[in-house]
Amino acid sequence: MAREKSRNLVRRTITDTLIDELREEIRSGKIKPGSRLRQLEVAERFGVSSTPVRETFAALEREGLLVSSPHRGVVVFRPTVDDLQETYDIRIPLEAVATEKAVENMTDEDLDALEDSLKDIMGSTMTIVSLSSYDGEGAQETMKSVSDAVSGCAGGFTVSAKGQDTQKFNKVAEEKSSGTGDESVAFEVTGKVEGDTQTVHGEVVRHGSTVAAYYSISLAALAGEQTKYDIPAEVIKAQAAKLK
């Protein structure tokens, strides 16, 4: 009797370990959604018998990570748009209630810590980077177009899109560039957005036939606060290193 109990304990330990391993591989994306899992292949890869593999498949199927298909066997669950929408429809009210309850139970120290975190977030700068590659003299011509646009739009410009209000930008000014790449142009654009004056900093850098464009805005500026900031130098340097 004792021997049978010990043997079951070893088997359960192997199964638990295998469950953890496959669960992590699925959640991390190492095993892609829609991938077919074959019992024999999994057993050989982990050096176990088919029994713990079968038990593992059953456990992960109960968790919703695997599904059994009559034609394909066991596959990793691939959520549809409807599945994702249903998940968010459920999460939104639940998270709203959870947040309300959490606030009710917050101490003064918790509120102070939350305020400090919000200040850190609002003090950060968001930078968008885009890369474009050109044939022939395309990259050089693009840089000239950007430089001409900065000079030509110094007095401002308007942007209009169908179904949206026209936005007025009243100033474009050239700034000191980072000096990276083969050539670079830096500038700031100032305008009114929903009644607040906001400034966006931009820099366009050419690396051979590739043009990198950087646009930065302070989250505090988005909230209507007047604050000075620049495109983070480390962002430009990091991207330049990748393009060498």
DSSP 8-class letter at 164: S
Tokens, residue 43: 């057993």
Fold (CATH) for 2-76: Arc Repressor Mutant, subunit A (1.10.10)
Q: Cα(97)–Cα(102) distance, rounded to whole angstroms?
A: 9
Domain boundaries, the chain: 2-76, 124-242
Give 106-143 pLDDT, tens digit per residue.
888 888 887 778 777 766 788 889 999 999 999 999 99
CB 203 within 8 A of CB 177: yes
Q: What pLDDT sits at residue 222? A: 63
Q: Does the global pTM surpass 0.85?
A: no
Given the structure tokens 């991390």, which residue do they identify?
28
Give 39-84 pLDDT, tens digit per residue.
999 999 999 999 999 999 999 999 999 998 877 899 999 887 777 7
Q: What pLDDT sits at residue 162? A: 65
Question: Would you tell me which CATH number, out of the four given (1.10.1330.10, 2.40.50.90, 3.40.1000.70, 3.20.20.70), belongs to the domain 124-242?
Answer: 3.40.1000.70
Neighbours of 57 (CB within 10 A): 21
The yes-or-no verdict on residue 29 having pLDDT over 80 is: yes
